[in-house]
Structure 1
Amino acid sequence: MSTAATIAPLSPQDAKSARRMSRRQGLFAPDLLKTALWQALIMLRPDRMWKNPVMFVVEVGTCLSIIYTVYKVIDPASTMAPVGYLLGLDFWLILTVLFANFAEALAEARGKAQADALRKTRQETPALRVRTADRGARGEDTEFLQSALRAPDSALEATVSTSLREGDLVVIAAGQFIPADGEIVAGVASVDESAITGESAPVVREAGGDRSGVTGGTRVLSDRVVVRVTAAAGKSFLDRMIALVEGAARQRTPNEIALSLVLSAFTLVFLIVVATLWPMAANSEAYMGDYLGAKDLKGLGTDIPTLVALLVCLIPTTIGALLAAIGIAGMDRALRANLIAKSGKAVEVAGDVDTLLLDKTGTITIGNRKATKFLPLGDLAATEVGHLAALSSAADETPEGKSIVELYRRLPGGTTISAAPPPGSRFISFTAQTRMSGVDLPDGRRIRKGSADAILKHVLAQGGTAPPLLQEQVNTHAGLGATPLLIAEDSRIVGLVVLEDILKPGIRERFERLRKMGIRTVMVTGDNPLTAASIAKQAGVDDYIAEATPEAKLAYIRKEQAGGRLVAMMGDGTNDAPALAQADLGVAMNSGTQAAKEAGNMVDLDSDPTKLIEVVEIGKQLLMTRGALTTFSIANDLAKYFAIVPALFAGTLPWLKALDFMHLASPTSAILSAVIFNAIIIPCLIPIALKGVTYRPVGADALLRRNLLVWGLGGVILPFAGIKLIDMILSGLGLA
């Protein structure tokens, strides 16, 4: 097939490198700074600024201040304020607006850099599509899919990824790139997903299970598969995320909207207060002028730039300037963790989750059961039981079978006798009907291993009997969360091998962290209640759902939600889709089925079941950052109030001098120092807004105390020190 007219996709190595480079970019990388500075100027347009009411008021006030200053430059005698002071105020008011725009623009630029790295993974690629005429009335039956899998390239239609439509079938061989998001409907293959996830280890994707999902831009390393396209060009999960991080489809979250309304209310109140100060100041000047006999008594209260400065310093400009950046940065952090959120709300909800549903296998436990001990049930030694178990597992390629052989070789003397059956042996494969496997040796011995009831039935059919205390041994280990397999030689049961699904290291400590955050953990498993209860106790989860069915999971989620709790869940199969759709936060595996990915509101590109804990931490960090900076912003208004208000009426109301405990050099220096501090604190807080405050797994009460102590008290003390320092610098430069 000719590919001359197509664009060659980025190699996995280059795509992986691009993603790493985007992650390593510092907050103030030169290319990001250049983009953000230009965007900050463009965002001065009123049609952009009005979406942020706080900063829109600052922009309007700055325009009024500039007009007033121009008028006073023409007629300097009409005001007591030096023209240099008025020009200085205008300059720093403009910078305040620009710094606010810069914070949002820098957050968007970082998101776009990450989006560009993702975009490189989905460039136009060649594809081999199954002809529509060939599908005919047969649809997609097994015979047809297998014939498509074996079809030569010449029998397929050559096309490109941008021409694919939802529902198309494409055939992908080893070395070729997957042209679009889809599901494998025939075949099994090893896939390199490093271009998407950044991980170099290949993964196995196959038809007919919960690991059938594939992503456009990844590469098939081995074998050949048929993929049904589930997302047309421009509508994939990566396309959605690119649009979100670039701001094209980003919508403000409910919490962000609510906070914006609160900030707008604060702004309106202070706007009314400051507006009424102008006539009060004018009347004070007239009254005190007559009282003191000074006809030309003037204060700063009637200067528009000064009143604008007072308004800007009293309204919550700091959080108003950083609010959008915090939200964008939260989504950016999720993307850097290889999480695709369908909306900003999904990231935010993660921080409010009360109940966490976690699948046992692969999340709480390692997932592959391992043999841990051999127990004789007759006159044989443990080593002899292990040898028979190893012989029966020699041809077993499952992780459980391999672990039995490995355990035998670790036993004393286990390496002196070969675990490999002699030539001429006949292996018996495991089937769902027999539920056992084994080997027939050339000397006539028949060795079997399998579930307790299957082996017992086999032995009884051979004329054997059950050993004493057999059922008690089986129940004891099952009650401890293990899986006992019996070993039989001919017509007698010689022992059992214990398989344990080992808990992941540190999982109990992680659940303890979640508990400190006020989150309940619930284990979901298909095990019987006895085994489930044992594993739940070992792992330290708060509750469990045993013998879980889709209906049971759905019912549990609804019960939790009826109690006013927010529920998070992770899943990858079609049977998880109802629960993912019902959960407040549904995280679907990228390797899972299309139904699961559509039902959830977040997709994990790494397909890592333990990622749900990181999702919660990212959401918590977003809310902690917003709360911390809101507390700081409101607290630092107090210091600016004591700096500006005494200076505002110093010329007409001398008794207000009692409030001037900061002892600033002059009224103009006090006001200018407060405005300068208000402006420069915004870029100083940008790194915190983008990186987030340090995450600590603590409860709501402890978090509130920390916010009040660190950000509240700090928000009061820092402005006093900062304004005094700026005033001293202005005085030293002779500008006070």
Structure 2
Amino acid sequence: MNSATTTPRPKSPRSRPSDRRQKRKKVRVSTKLLYTRVIRDTFIKLYPKYAIQNPVMFLVWLATTTTLAATIYPPLFGPVTQKNPQLFNGLLTLILFSTVIFANFAEALAEGRGKAQADALRSTRSETIAKKIVVDGTITEISSTTLKQGDTVYVVAGDMIPADGEVILGIASVDESAITGESAPVLKESGSDVSSSVTGGTRIISDELIIRITADPGKGFIDRMIDLVEGAECTKTPNEIALTVLLAVLTTAFFIVVATLPVFAYYVKSPVSIPVLIALLVALIPTTIGGLLSAIGIAGMDRVAQFNLIATSGRVVEACGDINTLVLDKTGTITLGNRLAEAFLPINAHSMAEIANVALGASIFDDTPEGKSIVRLAEKCGAKFDIDRKKCQGVEFSATTRMSGTNLPGGHEVRKGAVGAIKGFVRSRRGSSGASHNGNETPELVTAYEAVSHQGGTPLLVCLDNEIYGVIYLKDIVKPGIHERFDQLRRMGVRTVMLTGDNRITASVIAKEAGVDEFIAKATPEDKVSIIQREQAEGKVVAMTGDGTNDALALAQADVGIAMNTGTKSAKEAANMVDLDSDPTKLVDIVSIGKQLLITRGALTIFSIANDIAKYFAIIPVIFAAANLNSLNIMKLTSVNSAILSALIYNALIIPALIPLALKGVKFRPWTANQLLQRNILIYGLGGVIVPFIAIKFIDMLITFAGLA
């Protein structure tokens, strides 16, 4: 494969004004289609089979049909005592109908944004021509929709990657902006645990790759994303279900209260008509939160998507708001992950050339970026591998042995790996393990690997048979901004735990630099699961981030498993949230989104219930007007009709007024639960009582001025 013959990368679209105009036109068309869909869905939700899914608004829907019947035939529910009852009942019908429409619009708008995102994702999943490599090595062109798991394809610069897969040969830059929104290309290469995975719908922009398909048609990553986004509107989280039940109970209680009012009204000789009772019921029930509840939950999922995060369900988003402990894998999450060989430190009187030769021999079959960097450093030091590779056998790294290497002809063995693993290997071969005659480690060996550890690097010992030749210094870098992010998490009450397979000295240096609260060194995949189970046993909600195959078990065990998009297929499948940007500093945003969702729902619930107090005192004079109890009319509203109409108009208008807040969410601050509760009661509780009094009085004045009182 010769990268020199590949197609040159096309110029950026930003250089073509016609493309910019076309893009703006496409945005306008998309917005128009969005609102057309929203308006259509708003009226579709009026069908009883959809309306009944929201008990509170379904009761308003029934109230609307009842007042409509009373408008058409006023004597339907008994003798008429009001002047011009058709006008009054007609206004009630119009206001109640508007209340239902506004609630449906809020939910349809939230769903429409999710569907628009699904449409954008679906556009990247278009059918393409794939170059499939058949058994005899020839290439045949077929439709990408016919590819199956296990097929092998060939892609060159300019080609669309036809399906999810694993790079098995080559190295190339891939444009993943269609998935992540990030314009910078991503390097993909074979043999890497975290950078060999490619996604269908992305485009290769340099060189060429051979890819093994890992997903059948319709089961790729984008397909799962579309299913998750489109499924947001039809799934309810446990908190939503619980709140829906609470609202239904409150509505039932208010219904019983209103149903008994005619008896008391008759006793005080103040008869009440059915339309007035309906108006009182609608004013009392929590229609504000009932109309916005679904929109709040769907908008929470949408905010997650805006941060380039894909969540499997709203349940996960809610769980993010309750996270107490965050468990992080070090490599690729806290650090950049591409550990590279920085230097060789020879010991035991061995020269730099000798350790370079042994390190080259131990890494010749290692196709990971780490192994390739050791080969490059060794060759830079003049090392050469003169043995026939066909007569050698590569030994792969495993979490159990924690080392890798090569079996050479003649029974010789070269290994590189963790300090303890190589010492054990040498000891098993009856070597000195770098020890003196009294069984203690030589100061030279201790000084060498501790020097690397104290710099935050990873020390690898390299040996030939029963002799340690020295230390390989693997350099790793903490991701910028991670310390500040962890400080924010700490203020939110979230404890961070770093897990790493490195020795304790290296782990402590990285932990201090990153600012985590606790670290576990020499952690195996089983240790990661044990730590999560320990935290969960204490009643804590645990989140885990990772990107490697060895993180899959822990990701599945955690309450919130967050996989990096650059991670392996098994990691992404085990997780219930995928970060498309592979940016662990986004963890603060994930926690904030979850907490913001819970806070928004709580704040609007408080506001809705507080509203009911004001609306009740606006309509209560109606019930006792004939009993000379006008002193209860504390708002000095003009008349019975104006009181009812003012309260219901406010009741209808407050829903669209709060749609932006429901979709955007209440601003989150990293405060304690008590501080947040006090703030919500002060702002949304007190405000929910004061605002309706002012608004209803103002609307009453307008109604009086218009002569409708």
Q: Under a length normalisation based on structure 1, what TM-score does the superposition of the two structures give? A: 0.76
Q: Does the 8 Å CA contact 2:167/2:188 hold for their aligned counterparts? A: yes
Match of 2:331 in 1: 361
Displacement of 1:123 in angstroms is: 0.8
Distance 1:516 1:22 in 2: 45
Q: Does the 8 Å CA contact 2:478/2:514 hold for their aligned counterparts? A: yes
Q: Is 1:246 aligned to 2:230, yes or no?
A: yes
Match of 1:192 in 2: 175
Distance 1:593 1:452 in 2: 27
Displacement of 1:345 in angstroms is: 1.6
Q: Is 1:611 aligned to 2:586, yes or no?
A: yes
- Show CA shifts across 1:576-623 (max 9, x none): 111111111112223322222221112222233333332222222222
Q: Is 1:79 aligned to 2:81, yes or no?
A: yes
Distance 1:548 1:374, change over 3 A: closer
Amino acid at match of 1:364: I
Displacement of 1:74 in angstroms is: 9.0
Displacement of 1:63 in angstroms is: 0.8
Distance 2:259 2:184 in 1: 65
- Show CA shifts across 1:34-74 (max 9, x none): 32222211110000000111101110111111112222289
- Show CA shifts across 1:305-352 (max 9, x none): 221111111111111111111111111112222222222222222122
Q: Does the 8 Å CA contact 1:103/1:683 hold for their aligned counterparts? A: yes
Q: Does the 8 Å CA contact 2:340/2:369 hold for their aligned counterparts? A: no
Distance 1:33 1:306, change over 3 A: farther
- Say what the alpha-carbon RMSD is for the aligned residues: 4.6
Q: Does the 8 Å CA contact 2:232/2:313 hold for their aligned counterparts? A: no
Distance 1:658 1:721 in 2: 19
Q: Does the 8 Å CA contact 1:165/1:231 hold for their aligned counterparts? A: yes
Distance 1:593 1:721, change over 3 A: same
Amino acid at match of 2:171: V
Amino acid at match of 1:225: L
Match of 1:695 in 2: 668
Amino acid at match of 2:320: A
Distance 1:565 1:526, change over 3 A: same
Distance 2:442 2:525 in 1: 39
Distance 1:24 1:710 in 2: 37
Distance 1:564 1:470, change over 3 A: closer
1:197-596 to 2 correspondences below 5 Å: 197-208=180-191, 209-247=193-231, 250-285=234-269, 299=270, 302-367=272-337, 426=382, 471=446, 475=450, 478-479=453-454, 481-482=456-457, 501-596=476-571
SS of equivalent to 2:697: helix
Distance 1:47 1:470, change over 3 A: closer
Distance 1:469 1:70 in 2: 99
Q: Is 1:112 aligned to 2:115, yes or no?
A: yes
Q: Is 1:654 aligned to 2:628, yes or no?
A: yes
Displacement of 1:76 in angstroms is: 11
Displacement of 1:711 in angstroms is: 1.4
1:4-15 to 2 correspondences below 5 Å: none
SS of equivalent to 1:78: coil
Q: Structure 2 residue aligned with 1:49, among 22, 38, 51?
A: 51
Q: Does the 8 Å CA contact 1:19/1:118 hold for their aligned counterparts? A: no
Match of 2:363 in 1: none
Distance 1:482 1:605 in 2: 28
Q: Is 1:121 aligned to 2:105, yes or no?
A: no
SS of equivalent to 2:174: strand
Q: Does the 8 Å CA contact 1:19/1:114 hold for their aligned counterparts? A: no
Amino acid at match of 2:595: K
Distance 1:451 1:167 in 2: 34
Match of 2:159 in 1: 176
Displacement of 1:500 in angstroms is: 6.4
Displacement of 1:640 in angstroms is: 0.8
Distance 1:577 1:364, change over 3 A: closer
Unaligned runs of 5+ in 1: 1-10, 135-147, 286-298, 378-384, 403-419, 436-449, 461-465, 487-494
Distance 2:672 2:21 in 1: 38
Match of 2:407 in 1: none
Distance 2:518 2:530 in 1: 15
SS of equivalent to 1:246: helix
Q: Is 1:718 aligned to 2:702, yes or no?
A: no
Identity %: 54
Q: Structure 2 residue aligned with 1:63, among 62, 65, 73?
A: 65
SS of equivalent to 2:103: helix
SS of equivalent to 2:519: strand
Displacement of 1:224 in angstroms is: 3.5
Distance 2:28 2:491 in 1: 33
Q: Is 1:640 aligned to 2:615, yes or no?
A: yes
Displacement of 1:113 in angstroms is: 1.5
Distance 1:160 1:203, change over 3 A: same
Q: Does the 8 Å CA contact 1:369/1:400 hold for their aligned counterparts? A: no
SS of equivalent to 1:544: strand
Moved more, 678-687 or 335-344: 335-344
- Show CA shifts across 1:122-159 (max 9, x none): 0111113344xx3xxxxxxxxxxxxx8xx342xx3x32
Q: Does the 8 Å CA contact 1:572/1:591 hold for their aligned counterparts? A: yes
Distance 1:210 1:125 in 2: 26
SS of equivalent to 2:82: coil
- Show CA shifts across 1:461-515 (max 9, x none): xxxxx999895586366346356899xxxxxxxx999986444443222212112
Distance 1:593 1:484 in 2: 25
Distance 1:216 1:501, change over 3 A: closer
Distance 1:331 1:25, change over 3 A: farther
Distance 1:168 1:687 in 2: 48
SS of equivalent to 2:543: strand
Displacement of 1:87 in angstroms is: 1.8
SS of equivalent to 2:264: helix
Amino acid at match of 2:187: V
Moved more, 163-172 or 107-116: 163-172
Q: Is 1:102 aligned to 2:82, yes or no?
A: no
Amino acid at match of 2:222: L
Distance 1:152 1:46, change over 3 A: same
